[in-house]
Structure formats: structure tokens, C-alpha cells
Structure 1
Amino acid sequence: MRKGIVAVAAVGLLAAGSLTACGEESAPGDTADRPKIGVILPDSKTSGRWENADRKYLEEAFKAAGVDYDIQNAQDDKSRFQTIADQMITSGVDVLMIVNLDSGTGKAVLDRAKSQGIATIDYDRLTLGGSAEYYVSFDNANVGRLQGEGLVKCLGDSGVDKPVVAYLNGGKTDNNATLFHAGYDSVLKPKFDSGDYVKGPEEWVKDWDNAEAATVFEQMLTQTNGKIDGVLAANDGLGNAAISILKKNKLNGEVPVTGQDADVQGLQNILAGDQCMTVYKAIKKEADAAADLAVALARGEKKETGQTVRDPEGNRDVQAVLLEPQPIHKENVKDVVADGFVSKEQLCTEAFTALCSEAGIS
């Protein structure tokens, strides 16, 4: 097995072209022949999941398997992403698992790893035209479908006739955002075509940037003279951005807003009645599935997953593990707490104590 001692920064500020050392872990005992797995996470600003959930669950799985690992966060910086990858490859990782920032950067990193005989896994996002041996994620078209169905349910409950629906899509360079869009558009486009709904403004939010999403949504509201009756927001961060503008205009609670990720803020927005639904993806299951494949690859084993996804740019089928997401409305927010994804203490702060009690969270 290739071994090395280089460690790169996990999270924090990148100082003038240098990386601070932290994030590399070794299990107790002799490390001479122990496999080593490198993981590059994308950022910490677009969603809390990467640092609060994925890192934690991957660390737990790698520790339990007795392998060395190095988990770093590129903090939405493509140069940093490539630097981390280069140092991980030089350090002698046996497997490299990435969440790409875009397919171009991801492909370059995967191809370099492959040229060095390093096994590769796409985690959560498929790198189009890439060379990863496996892809582990959720059924992302189904995530979008659940968002579309959730918005239809919430609009039905609102009683608005011919509602105007705006789209706040994710980052255009993220293949997942394209899959989410395909899913919710498959539900909503027939409504637009039939005249039951009116298609409102639509924007792709660069890099899933929440601050930009707020600016974009404020422009949408101005453009329509305040006539937006539903917002298909591609994740909880974008949803919260829209909600912040709706609050500013005293429209929160009147306009259904979707989300995804079931983060604490999104769930609190649902409890407060400002967000109509989110989609829960059991990150522990995703992390465990990816870690299981990574550990097997690091030990020279290849597993059959029984599933594939098509990479249209690479013109190939990629072995995949695709997990099923779950829609979350106010009545089943408690399921996310019961699953251990968020704790009651995190969710039910003083301002939400009564709302948690009403939702059956005990």
C-alpha cells in the first residue's frame, strides 16, 4: 500500500497559498500497512451537512474499519480543491473520494488519481465525463420529484387559484441541481401546461450562494409586483434566503417554500410555518455506503452494487449506490429527530419549544 505523511487543512482560512495541517487521522496500532483514504468535501457555506453530518459519519465509519483517513474541505475554492487532491495523491492515499465543485475540476482530479493507480469514488455528486469507479448518492431526480409534489400539496392547502410558482434552482455546474430540476419540473410543468399553475421567474443560483439567492428572489418579487404564490427552492439554504425576503415583505407563511437537506434552520422554518416542506436524506446511510466501498477498494476488493447511473458526457455507466429520500412536512419533522440526524436540543431552542411540543417532538 502507498503510505505517506502529508496532511492538509480540513477547514478554516487558507493563508497565502499554504495549507495548515489538520484532518488526517490514524487508528491506534501499527500503521505500516494500513490503507489510507482521502476525502475532499466541497464547502461549508451552502449547507451545514458537509461539516456537521458527512464529516462526522465518514470519520466514524473509517475509525470502525481501522483505516487511516484524511478528510479536507475545499471551501468552494477550485484551486484549493486541486491542491488538496495533489497533496493527498502525493501522500499515498489508496482511495480518493470527492464531492466535486464542478465536473471540469473534478474530472482533472479523478483522472490524475487514476493515472497514479488510485481508486476513486464520486460522493453525492456525479462528475460528468469523469473516471470514478463508483458513485454514491441519493436518487436525486426523486429528490426533486418529492419537492414538486410537496409544493403541489402545500399550494392545494393554500387555496390560491392559478398560483404563480417561482424556481430558485441550485448551481448550474452541479449535476445534482440539474437532476433536482428535472424531478420537480416533471411534476410542475404539466401544471403550467394545463393552465392550473402559472410559471413565474426562474433563476439558477451560482454556486448555491444563499446571499445571492436572497438578492435574486427580491428581484423576482419586484418583477412580479409581489405576485409569487409558491417557491420551489432547491435546498433549505435557498429556501431560507427566499423566506428572509418574504419576511421583509410580511409575506412569510403565506407563500409556500420548499427545501432539501432537513437542516436545523429548514426544520425550524417548517415548525414556524414559513417553509412548507423539505427533503430528508439520511446522510449516515450515504456516508456508510461510501465508506464501505472505499474501505473495500483500499483493500483491493471491488464490490458489485447492482445499480448504475449513466454519465452522458463520459458515455459510460457508473456503478452506483442510490438511496431513497423522504419528504418532510410539519407532521413528520419528528422523524428526522428520531433518526438522530438533528437533536432535540439543536432544534428545540427556546423560541421553538412550544412548536416542537405541538409537533410531537419529545
Structure 2
Amino acid sequence: MRKKLLAVAVVGLMASATMTACTDSGDSGDASSGGGTTGGGNGKARVGVILPDTESSNRWRDEDPKYLQAAFDAAKVEVEIQNAQGDRARFQQIADGMINGGVKVLMIANLDSESGRAVLAKAREKKIPTIDYDRLTLNGNANYYVSFNNVQVGEYQGYGLQKCLTAKGARNPLIAQLNGSPSDNNATLFKQGYESVLNQNYDKASYTKGPAQWVPDWDPEEAGKIFEQMLQQTPQISGVLAANDGIADAVIKVLRKYKRSGAVPVTGQDATLEGLQNLLTGEQCMTVYKAVRDEAQNAARVAIQLFKGEDPGVDGVIKDPESGGYVPFISLTPKPITLKNINAVVVDDKYIPEADLCKGKYLPLCQLHKVGKFAEDDDKNADNE
């Protein structure tokens, strides 16, 4: 019954929002203020998309804009995509320009819930339907949310670290934990997932709980400083739960400095180029692949249908832990990645180009681990035998 009532309410809001957005375009904001603009501007009816930064993960620079743009182009719907470059004031400025400049639908990947909430409230005043993309804005009351099962992402990280430690024959390993940004709800969900696994080992006294700290804004440079201090104070660290590939890479650079890279298992998440390269060298034991193309296509589909005044028909819901309200939610499934199935990212989905991964010092490693064309060559040789 709750879902039916929610659906009716959302459809009603969607209809009124679409009608209002068609007539209440306002003046155009400065489209260049956020950088990375494609399409839109000057009061033209369009979908507005604001991405958070280009530092926390390469995906925000390389993948999301590409896949989102392609989805909107295929539907012949105008879109304006901008990136706030980690600046909350800039995020607000971009949003103001879009909200007052003719967008009919607004999609955001927030920098934090506070600034995201302010933007969503302004859009709601203009009756512009909104979509939380990848990150849920707590108490933001977005009309829709598209992301992955982020607790499951964390569980994969926890189980991945457990397998890596077992493979190394670690006995009562001391685990350091570098969580993501405290302002990102996803980081909280990842933490919930991997701690559910790690706590089982702590309870059995098979692992020892080591230092744990949040990394502000997912900043890799800050992560490196935090981990080096951890390692100096607790040199017996023998496993690291790093919340994403950027943090993992920072940890690995510190471990290299202390001649311990490869000996200390390190997790990651996002299946970035640097993450996969660290898998090839054996310095990172696993990552988690979240198919950005699927996420972008699903979010674009919802936005396009809202733009056209149609019901996106989203059946799932997620409970906002802060407001207690329910948000219509498209939940996508992540995939753990190790060297054994790295081709799922490189060959099957072509998320990371083989030419970028398998070059320079990584070329012989790709050959050794049968990545990309080397896997195909191996299959062909087997067929000929």
C-alpha cells in the first residue's frame, strides 16, 4: 500500500513539475561556471546534470559524462553536463544557473548532503523533478535515485580482503581501515558492508582491529598522509581496507616507500585504470566494478521520461536514513574483480580500454595474466591444438 501511495504522489509531482518547467524557464545562468559543459544553456528546455569532482574517482571525468551524453543524444534530448570540481559554492552556482535557466529535469551527484539538499530544495520550489545520481542526498527528497547496491559493494571489499589475507597465510592480521568521505552517504554504506564482514573476524579474534579513519572528500593526497601516519604509529599493519581505488593507490604508494607493497593486501573499488594496473602488479588484491554505463543509461532513461512528461515506472524504493522517507530507487548490481576475472572489465564491457591498460611496463603483465587480446590469443591457440 505504501508503494502505491508513493507512486501516485510521485506521478502527481512529475506531472505538475513538467508543466511548470515548460513555462517557467527564467533567465539563463552562466553555463561556463562549472566547467565541462555539453549542450544546454540560454533558457533552452533541457536536462541538467551536475557531477561532483574529478579527483575522488576518474569516472567523473572520463566515464559518466561520456555515457550520459550518449544516452541523451540517442534520445535526441538536450542535456547540459557540468562538473563542480569539488567546490560546493560552484556546485550551487551551477545549479542556480540551471534551475533559473530552463532545465526541465535536474540530476545531481552531490558533494555532500547539505549542499545537495539546498539545490534539491530550489528545484522543488520551481517544481522541477530531480534525480539523485549515484549518491543519495540525505533528507533531500529527490524524486528518484539511481545507484548500486552500495552495502554489497562494501561486503565484496570485506570478503575480498579476507580471501587475500587467507591466500597469504596471514595469522591474526592487523587491519587498517581508510573509509571514504564522511560527507558521502555511499561511504557510510560501503563501511556498513565491509565492517559486517570484518567484525565477524574481530569477534572470533582471527583479525586484530587496527587504526581507522575517514578520508575527507575522498582526497587521495590526504589518504596518503593519513596512511603514512598510521603505518609509522602501527608498523605491524598487515592488511588495508581502502574504500576506493584512489585511496588504495595512495596507500600503495606509501607501502612502496616502506618496501612493503605487494606484501600487504589492499582493497579498492571503482575498477579504475590505476586500480586495474595495481591488480596487474599484485599491489592491490581486488576492486569492485560498478558498470557506469548501466548506471548512466538508467539515470538518463528516468530523466528522459520525466522530460517528456512520462512516468519512469520505478518500482523499487530506498529508505532515507535521515528523513525516514522512501525514495523510488533503481538498484544496480556491482561485481568484485580480481586478476581471475579482470577481462570482465577490459574485454566484456570495454570499460577500461585495453590499449590504456596494457602499455609500457604493464604490457608483459597483461600477457602473463592473459588480459585482453592475450586471452583471445590463448583461446585461439587452444582451438588449434
- TM-score normalised by L of structure 1: 0.93
Q: Which of 8, 16, 26 is residue 31 of structure 2 equivalent to?
A: 8
Query: Per-residue deviation at 1:24?
Result: 3.5
Q: Which of 139, 151, 165 is residue 149 of structure 2 equivalent to?
A: 139
Determine the structure 2 residue equivalent to 1:296: 305
Equivalent AA in structure 2 for residue 43 of structure 1: D
Query: Per-residue deviation at 1:186?
Result: 0.5
Determine the structure 1 residue equivalent to 2:138: 128
CA 1:229 to 1:247, structure 2 compared with 1: closer, same or farther past 3 Å? same
Determine the structure 1 residue equivalent to 2:255: 246
SS in 2 for 1:314: coil
Q: Which of 112, 119, 144 is residue 102 of structure 1 equivalent to?
A: 112
Greater C-alpha radius of gyration: 2
Are 1:81 and 2:91 an aligned pair? yes
Equivalent AA in structure 1 for residue 153 of structure 2: V
Determine the structure 1 residue equivalent to 2:339: 330
Q: Which of 24, 31, 43 is residue 38 of structure 2 equivalent to?
A: 24
Structure with the higher helix share, 1 or 2: 2
Asked if the contact 2:35–2:82 (Cα under 8 Å) also holds between the matched residues in 1, the reply is no
Once the two structures are superposed, the pairs formed by residues 191-210 of structure 1 within 5 Å of their partners are: 191-210=201-220
Are 1:281 and 2:290 an aligned pair? yes
Query: Per-residue deviation at 1:340?
Result: 1.1
Determine the structure 2 residue equivalent to 1:150: 160
Once the two structures are superposed, the pairs formed by residues 133-282 of structure 1 within 5 Å of their partners are: 133-224=143-234, 226-282=235-291
Query: Per-residue deviation at 1:300?
Result: 1.1
SS in 2 for 1:25: coil
Asked if the contact 1:7–1:24 (Cα under 8 Å) also holds between the matched residues in 2, the reply is no
Give CA-to-partner distance per residue, 1:17-51, whole Å, 9 cap, x none.
xx27761316xxxx99x851000000001110011
Q: How many residues align?
A: 347
Equivalent AA in structure 1 for residue 143 of structure 2: E
Equivalent AA in structure 1 for residue 93 of structure 2: T
Query: Per-residue deviation at 1:6?
Result: 4.4
Asked if the contact 2:290–2:333 (Cα under 8 Å) also holds between the matched residues in 1, the reply is yes
Which runs of 5 or more residues in structure 1 are unaligned? 10-18
Give CA-to-partner distance per residue, 1:173-215, whole Å, 9 cap, x none.
1000000000000001010111000001000011111101001
- Structure-1 separation of matches of 2:212 and 2:137: 25
Asked if the contact 1:257–1:275 (Cα under 8 Å) also holds between the matched residues in 2, the reply is yes
Query: Per-residue deviation at 1:357?
Result: 1.2
- Structure-2 separation of matches of 1:192 and 1:20: 45
- Structure-2 separation of matches of 1:262 and 1:20: 26
Equivalent AA in structure 2 for residue 263 of structure 1: T
Give CA-to-partner distance per residue, 1:254-282, whole Å, 9 cap, x none.
00000001000000000000000000000
Asked if the contact 1:110–1:132 (Cα under 8 Å) also holds between the matched residues in 2, the reply is yes
Query: Per-residue deviation at 1:130?
Result: 0.5
SS in 2 for 1:255: coil
Determine the structure 2 residue equivalent to 1:308: 317
Asked if the contact 1:8–1:24 (Cα under 8 Å) also holds between the matched residues in 2, the reply is no
Asked if the contact 1:100–1:127 (Cα under 8 Å) also holds between the matched residues in 2, the reply is yes
- Structure-1 separation of matches of 2:155 and 2:34: 42
Determine the structure 2 residue equivalent to 1:52: 62
Are 1:93 and 2:107 an aligned pair? no
- Structure-1 separation of matches of 2:306 and 2:160: 39
Query: Per-residue deviation at 1:304?
Result: 2.2
Equivalent AA in structure 1 for residue 73 of structure 2: K
- TM-score normalised by L of structure 2: 0.88
Which runs of 5 or more residues in structure 2 are unaligned? 1-21, 374-385
Query: Per-residue deviation at 1:5?
Result: 5.2
Give CA-to-partner distance per residue, 1:65-121, whole Å, 9 cap, x none.
111111000011110000000000111100000011111110110011011010100
Asked if the contact 1:58–1:288 (Cα under 8 Å) also holds between the matched residues in 2, the reply is yes
SS in 2 for 1:244: helix
SS in 2 for 1:173: coil
- Structure-2 separation of matches of 1:7 and 1:340: 35
Query: Per-residue deviation at 1:349?
Result: 1.1
Structure 1: 4+ residue segments shifted above 4 A: 2-7
- Structure-2 separation of matches of 1:289 and 1:21: 24
SS in 1 for 2:352: coil
Equivalent AA in structure 2 for residue 129 of structure 1: N
Equivalent AA in structure 2 for residue 257 of structure 1: V
SS in 2 for 1:24: coil
- Structure-2 separation of matches of 1:221 and 1:20: 38
Give CA-to-partner distance per residue, 1:135-157, whole Å, 9 cap, x none.
00000000000000000000000
